[in-house]
Amino acid sequence: MPGSQLAAYTNGKATVPKTNPPQPFLLPFGKNYYLVPATAIKSYPKYPNDKIKTGEDLGALIHTKSPEKWLAYCKPDYLCRIEGETGNCVYTTFDVPGFPDEKRFLRLISGTVAAKNFEQVKKEALEKAEAEGVELNDRQLKRIDVLDWKKAEDCPARNQISPEIEKWEIATGDELAKSCIKVPEAKKRAKPGSSLEDEMDTKRKRYICHEEMIKQPPGTTYKINEVGGLLHVIFYRKAATWVAEEDEDDQ
């Protein structure tokens, strides 16, 4: 890689750990990807998440806020904490087989996921270290401390840091990369009136203002009279019915 290009990659920008040549992180926001200043990184991830195997799986995860589905991806070694003037947030990265650039993309851990998962993950990490008799070093403790993040305290005014307001640099040219993420297709909703049932319901609402269900007694016929705005429903016994009743009365 030419020296000038290498300099652009390392000139004050946060890069993925242990990449040679250094590869800058990319923060998706709106329609752009932003370069993160190295000074904004408060805690680097030790590893990218490696449990996602396809771009479709990654897209499904990114587009859900289900804490249960995110739990496995909230381990302290996978987390990155970034701070700016607009707040500080927690992100993670993914290493998808066949797509080496994917680990450059910072994916936000939402406040909903953090509120449900972080306390549990921290407790498990500390209990594991204690059970194994491991004394955590400063770097490990710093990564675990990321799990103390709380939206109400650390980024109360918005969903995440705004790189636009921070005036962070938009990635262009050789600094850009293509993500393998596949956005899930939106489920098409049937338009009102698109089915026969919907059509009948629409007609009923349009033409019927009131209705009552009256059960017709067995062995009867009926007549409906309109009297002064009232409907008078009369049920008559059929001939066979009243003849049978008269026979019973004669016995």
What is the DSSP track for 229-246? TEEEEEEEE-HHHHHHHH
Q: Is the pLDDT of residue 1 over 50?
A: no
The residue extents of the domains of the chain are 3-175, 220-250
Q: Which alpha helices (DSSP H) does the chain contain, by range? A: 3-10, 55-62, 67-70, 111-131, 138-145, 151-154, 163-166, 196-207, 239-250
Residue 3: what pLDDT?
39
- For 147-169, letters b (16+ CB in 10 Å) and e give bebebeebbeeeebbbbeebebe
Across 116-121, average pLDDT: 98
Least confident of 8-17, 130-139, 149-158: 8-17
Banded model confidence at residue 250, pLDDT cuts 50, 70, 90:
low
| pLDDT at 236 (0 to 100) | 83
Q: In this predicted model, what pLDDT tens digit does every residue of 147-167 receive, in sequence order?
A: 999 999 999 999 999 999 999
**Window from 1-5, 62-66, 123-127, 162-166 with minimum mean pLDDT:** 1-5
On the question of pLDDT at 53 being above 50, the answer is yes
Give the pLDDT mean for 211-237: 82
pLDDT at residue 78 above 80?
yes
Q: What is the pTM of this model?
A: 0.71
- Pairing assessment for the beta strands 87-92 and 32-35 based on DSSP bridges: unpaired
Mean pLDDT value of segment 189-197: 61
Confidence of residue 240 (pLDDT cuts 50, 70, 90): low
Identify the band that residue 5 occupies on the pLDDT scale cut at 50, 70 and 90.
very low
